Amino acid sequence: MFADWIEPDYRKLLENDLRRTKSMDAFGIKGAETQAEIIKILHKNIEHFLDHFYYQLGHSSSYPASFYPHSYGLDVLKDQFQQLYLHDDNDLTLRNQELAYKATQGMHQERPPGAGKSICRFEFFEIFIRLATKKYFDSGKCGKADEAMQTFIDSHLKPG
């Protein structure tokens, strides 16, 4: 009876979030095959993303309890980038990180009520896809966007 509460269906959660996003073409990932591979990687690593999303959400005291319950803003996100050691002076500068946030914000005209300028869970995924692409694919460290996504997860999101 309470199986949905006890064992959440992360696959369904991710699919719902991805339906809210724009096409990955819009943030530089071309080709249906590559996009499908990235989605597989996200499915495989969904718990790592959610751990980081909810950890930061729980440590964000800047919003009242009535605020949209699954969102937070750029200040909290910048703290998270720092904790994950994302910043470097060559491939992923602070400016690149802010641009990923702003680009994601600008893509969604229909935002949940009360979300304001904070990011929602589906935008959180988008930002990290953008950052992975920028840091590992655009820089030439990885030959394919899906390899960049997996490298990003292994290097910054997985514990240890």
Which one, of 42, 50, 37, 45, lies nearest residue 15 by Cα? 42
* pTM over cut 0.95: no
66: DSSP letter? T
Which residues, listed in sequence order, are joined to residue 72 by a DSSP beta bridge?
A: 119
For 37, half-sphere exposure in the C-beta direction (CA atoms, 13 angstrom radius) is 13
Which pLDDT value is given to residue 14? 77
What the block records as the tokens of 50 is: 């959610």
Rounded to whole angstroms, the Cα distance separating 139 from 135 reads 6
pLDDT tens-place string over residues 12-30: 777 777 777 666 766 667 7
Contact present, 141 and 91 (Cβ < 8 Å): yes
Comparing CA positions, the residue from 122, 137, 108 lying closest to residue 26 is 108
| Residue in 8, 5, 16, 37 with CA at minimum distance from that of residue 129 | 37
Q: What is the pLDDT of residues 72-116, one digit of tens each?
A: 677 777 878 888 888 887 888 888 888 887 777 766 555 555 555
* Average pLDDT score over the chain: 76
